[in-house]
A and B are shown apart, each in its own frame.
Chain A
Amino acid sequence: MPKMTVDDLKRIKERTLQATALRHGEARVKITVHMGTCGIAAGARAVMTALMEEMAEAGRTDIRVVTSGCMGMCSSEPNVTVELLGEEPIVYQHMDANRMRQVFRRHVLLGEVQSDFALAKM
């Protein structure tokens, strides 16, 4: 019976571009994908998958990805909140895989808020 082992995980890590994995120290960026029923039905998992691909490519160790439930803004799902250390959190609305990639590359990596997709500052 194939069961994922620690060795499998190590191989996965080796194949990932990133040389160091364990995230310790302070996170400088926190990305929250809202995955309540509303978010999931609207496509949050595809957003999460795109984000994970970008993360694997970027190889940054100071970015934290978390998921959370519904925040009561179901009609604008999928919502993603990006929080850079020392800056106001930005909520992005109606996200899809492409928008997620753009937000990751421009906002998360370069610090440019993508106001076209922004719903609000929290």
Chain B
Amino acid sequence: MRELSLHILDLAENAVTAGARLVAITVEESAAADRLAIRVADDGPGLPEEKLRRLEDPFVTTRTTRRVGLGLSLLAAAARRAGGGVEVRSAPGAGTEVSAVFRLGHIDRAPIGDVAATIAALIAGYPAVDFVYRHRIEEREIALDTRELRTAAEGVDPADPALAEGIARWLREELGRLARGGKEGCDAQDDC
């Protein structure tokens, strides 16, 4: 996978397929600490000890459609290539949390990519699942919580596929502003 945002989509996909009803996605970027951290936590059934130990083995999978599970092995490889690693915490009944850490400035770190498209696709694609997304760059962050946006009485539904494009655009704009350190409509310039 070319972008880390695709790994996020993949991890969230795994969580939903495993039966999660709430998926929390956190991205933290810090140039000061030379660190990029991605965390996907779910409230799914969790993994038993023996599965957890062999998680990065591409030939271990809980799926039944095919016998290889590549998602996590690919992510672990991408993280190790960029001076980081992957950690999975899980217990039966207690959900699963996958954390991937990268050195932000590492030359082999894959680009983060279009996280906005990933989040919008998840929200529209899984109307029965709630998503919490937080993205922090240095000390600033943006957030979205579908539980707070699901106010059916007011006639708007975040999972309405017609709104997905608008949600992606909102996120893209806010992320752009975040990357510029909170300034409006200018990039790479300090005085505007």
Residues of A within 8 A of B13 (CB): 35-37, 40, 67, 69
CA separation between A63 and B117, bound complex, in Å?
Answer: 20
Please give, as numbers and ranges, the residues of chain B lying within 8 Å of A74 by CB-CB distance.
66
Q: Does A48 contact B (CB under 8 A)?
A: yes
- B residues less than 8 Å from A28 (CB atoms): none
Are A71 and B65 in contact, CB atoms less than 8 angstroms apart? yes
Given contacts A52-B124, A56-B164, is CB(A40)–CB(B6) below 8 Å? yes
| Bound-state Cα–Cα, A45 to B165, Å | 13
Residues of A within 8 A of B74 (CB): 37, 41
Chain B: which residue is nearest A47 at the CB level? B121
Expressed in whole angstroms, the Cα–Cα distance for A112 and B111 within the complex equals: 39
Q: Which of B33-41, B87-95, B97-105, B141-149 contacts A (4 or more CB under 8 A)?
A: B141-149
> Is B31 part of the binding interface, using a Cβ–Cβ cutoff of 8 Å?
no
Is B174's CB within 8 Å of the partner chain A? yes
Q: A122 contacts which chain B residues (CB < 8 A)?
A: none
Q: Mark A20-56, 1 if CB is under 8 A from B, else 0.
A: 0111000000000101111011000100110111011
A55 touches B174 (CB 8 A): no
* Measured CA separation A36–B61 after assembly (Å): 13
Whether A22 and B168, one on each chain, are in contact in the complex, defined by CB atoms closer than 8 angstroms, is no
Asked whether A65 and B124 contact (CB < 8 A) given A9-B149, A10-B156, A59-B162, the answer is yes
> CB-nearest residue of chain A relative to B122?
A67
A9 touches B164 (CB 8 A): no
Partner of B162, one of A18, A33, A66, A71: A18
From A22, A37, A52, contact of B164 by CB (8 A): A52
| Contacting pair A13 B121 (CB below 8 A) | no
CB < 8 Å neighbour of A4 from B9, B143, B162 = B143
Q: Would you call B27 an interface residue if the criterion is a C-beta within 8 Å of the partner chain's C-beta atoms?
A: no
**Contact residues in A for B163 (Cβ distance below 8 Å):** 9, 12-13, 16, 21, 56
B63 touches A55 (CB 8 A): no
Question: How far does the alpha carbon of A74 sit from the alpha carbon of B160 in the complex, in Å?
Answer: 28
Q: Which residues of A contact B63 (CB under 8 A)?
A: 69-70
Extra 20 A-B pairs, beta carbons < 8 Å, given A37-B69, A48-B125: A2-B177, A10-B154, A10-B156, A12-B169, A21-B156, A21-B157, A21-B160, A21-B163, A40-B1, A40-B13, A45-B6, A48-B124, A49-B168, A52-B120, A55-B162, A56-B165, A56-B166, A63-B161, A66-B125, A74-B66
Residues of B within 8 A of A (CB): 1, 6, 9-10, 13, 17, 63, 65-66, 69-71, 74, 114, 117-118, 120-122, 124-127, 140-145, 148-149, 151-152, 154-158, 160-171, 174, 177-178
- A residues apposed to B, CB below 8 Å: 1-6, 8-10, 12-13, 15-16, 18, 21-23, 33, 35-38, 40-41, 45, 48-49, 51-53, 55-56, 59, 63-67, 69-72, 74
Q: List 6 A-B contacts (CB under 8 A).
A: A21-B162, A23-B157, A40-B9, A45-B114, A52-B120, A70-B63
